[in-house]
Amino acid sequence: MRGSIDGLGSSAPIGMMLPAVFADDDLALRFVAGLDEVLAPILNVLDCLDTYFDPALTPADFAEWLGVWVGAETDGIESEARLRAAVAAAAALHRVRGTRQGLSETVRLAFGTTPEITESGGAAWSARPRGPVPGKPRPHLNVAIRLPDPTPADTHRLDALVAAARPAHMPYSVTVTAAERTLES
């Protein structure tokens, strides 16, 4: 979290910029030192402004705001590492939004697991006319994930993600199941 830092010095002290007549005046120097203390955090942010727009370097609270700004699919409960990954991937995901790849990557970033996606449609080419049409006549999309300890909140979260990232015309369903546990000897 960002906050005040005690004793943070200014990168551009005002006292050094005063005309010579005020540079020797103790009252003027103490007055502008107070202004330096107030302005130091602002100047520090401006000096480091490029790092605020890098998801790997920005403060965690600013990463949340940055996620809203770039349209990252986050809901505020993900870990800091997942939040930063979602913010970093947001622009690339917007390019493939509405595709199988975009939907798969959005769900993977949110849950940490690759989903199983089944679609009703298909595409094929045939040299003979009137060949069979691939896929099913009614469009449908199903997204399933396996989680170690699924909760109803996971189903709701997956439903919201799929609703936002799927093709707009496609009806869908979601399934969240428990992952198989392996017994360790």
Work out the average pLDDT over 138-159: 92
Q: 3-state secondary structure string, the chain?
A: CCCCCCCCCCCCCHHHHCCHHHHCCHHHHHHHHHHHHHHHHHHHHHHCHHHHCCCCCCCHHHHHHHHHHHCCCCCCCCCHHHHHHHHHHHHHHHHCCCCHHHHHHHHHHHHCCCCEEEECCCCCCCCCCCCCCCCCCCCCEEEEEEECCCCHHHHHHHHHHHHHHCCCCCCEEEEEEECCCCCCC
Which architecture, in CATH terms, is 99-185? 2-Layer Sandwich (3.30)
Work out the average pLDDT over 91-120: 91
- On the question of pLDDT at 87 being above 90, the answer is yes
Domain spans of the chain, in order of start: 20-51, 99-185
- On the question of pLDDT at 2 being above 90, the answer is no
pTM over 0.75: no
Highest mean pLDDT range out of 7-11, 85-89, 127-131?
85-89
